[in-house]
């Protein structure tokens, strides 16, 4: 059965709106639904068919999924605006060595030997951890997009120069790369409309002989135009 719509899942921090706008311009007849999914559930939602394709942080277990790397996110430390670390434009892992750190249950960084000393209490969500950072409980290490997503006026963040980056990918069920999924992949990769759908409608390329004949015709036409003033001049003698 041919799909007549496309459902795109995306994890917190991902920003698929620009790709959705391009889709609406190219395929207005095919509805595209953007569906927010939790990072921990994204892979399961794909396998279950709840979404057709997803922008996610690749899980450790990618069985049954095809994953296309998109980009690597900078890892940052979220701190109160009056924290000593906010005085620098960027920090190193060593700068966090003596800091209490929060590790939420939905952590997506997965930094095994992260600096600092973890607080015993693990917040259920990153959003809850942000509240604790604002209360001065500790520092939170997250991808930069999540620091922006949960931005507050009393908090800031600083890139950690030697921290591992956080990958983001485009995933879909292996062996189920439909025409619509393929077209969305092309949009994300910046492929122009003329290079995928509608390519067959473009003008066919000319052969070398056709190009030569066209040049000869152009030169002949130019010669005729150049001779016309000469003939007019002879008439005025």
pLDDT given at position 212: 65
183-190 contact pairs (CB < 8 A, 24+): 183/23, 183/26, 183/27, 184/6, 184/8, 184/19, 184/23, 184/32, 184/53, 185/53, 185/68, 187/19, 187/22, 187/23, 187/26, 188/19, 188/55, 188/70
Which stretches does DSSP call E strand in the chain? 6-10, 32-36, 53-56, 65-73, 75-80, 100-102, 117-118, 139-143, 155-159, 166-173
Give the largest CA-CA distance in the chain: 107
Common-topology check for domains 6-72+167-200 and 75-164: yes
pLDDT one-digit tens code per residue, 168-214: 999 999 987 799 999 999 999 988 876 544 343 344 455 566 556 65
75-164 is classed in which CATH architecture? 3-Layer(aba) Sandwich (3.40)
* CATH superfamily for domain 6-72+167-200: Periplasmic binding protein-like II (3.40.190.10)
Spell out the domain ranges in the chain: 6-72+167-200, 75-164
Q: Which residue has the tokens 């960084």?
A: 109
pLDDT higher than 60, residue 120 = yes
**Please, which pLDDT band fits residue 136 given cuts at 50, 70 and 90?**
very high
Of residues 218 and 63, the one with the higher pLDDT is 63
């Amino acid at each position: 059965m041919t799909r007549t719509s496309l459902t795109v899942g995306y994890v917190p921090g991902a920003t698929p709106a620009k790709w959705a706008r391009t889709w609406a311009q190219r395929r207005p007849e095919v509805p595209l639904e953007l569906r927010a999914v939790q990072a921990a559930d994204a892979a399961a939602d794909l396998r279950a068919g709840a979404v057709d394709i997803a922008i996610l942080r690749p899980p450790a277990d990618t069985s049954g999924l095809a994953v296309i790397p998109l980009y690597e996110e900078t890892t940052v430390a979220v701190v109160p605006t009056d924290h000593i670390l906010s005085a620098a434009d960027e920090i190193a892992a060593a700068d966090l060595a003596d800091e209490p750190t929060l590790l939420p249950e939905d952590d997506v960084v997965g930094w095994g030997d992260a600096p600092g000393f973890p607080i015993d209490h693990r917040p259920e969500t990153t959003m809850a951890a942000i509240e604790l950072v604002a209360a001065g409980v500790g520092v939170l290490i997250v991808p930069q997009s999540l620091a922006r997503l949960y931005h507050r006026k009393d908090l800031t963040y600083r890139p950690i120069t030697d921290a591992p980056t956080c990958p983001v990918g485009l995933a879909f069920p292996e062996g189920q790369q439909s025409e619509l999924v393929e077209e969305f992949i092309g949009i994300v990769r910046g492929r122009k409309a003329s290079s995928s759908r509608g390519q067959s409608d473009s003008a066919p390329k000319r052969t070398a002989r056709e190009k030569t004949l066209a040049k000869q015709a152009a030169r002949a036409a130019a010669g005729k135009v150049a001779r016309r003033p000469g003939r007019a001049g002879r008439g005025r003698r």
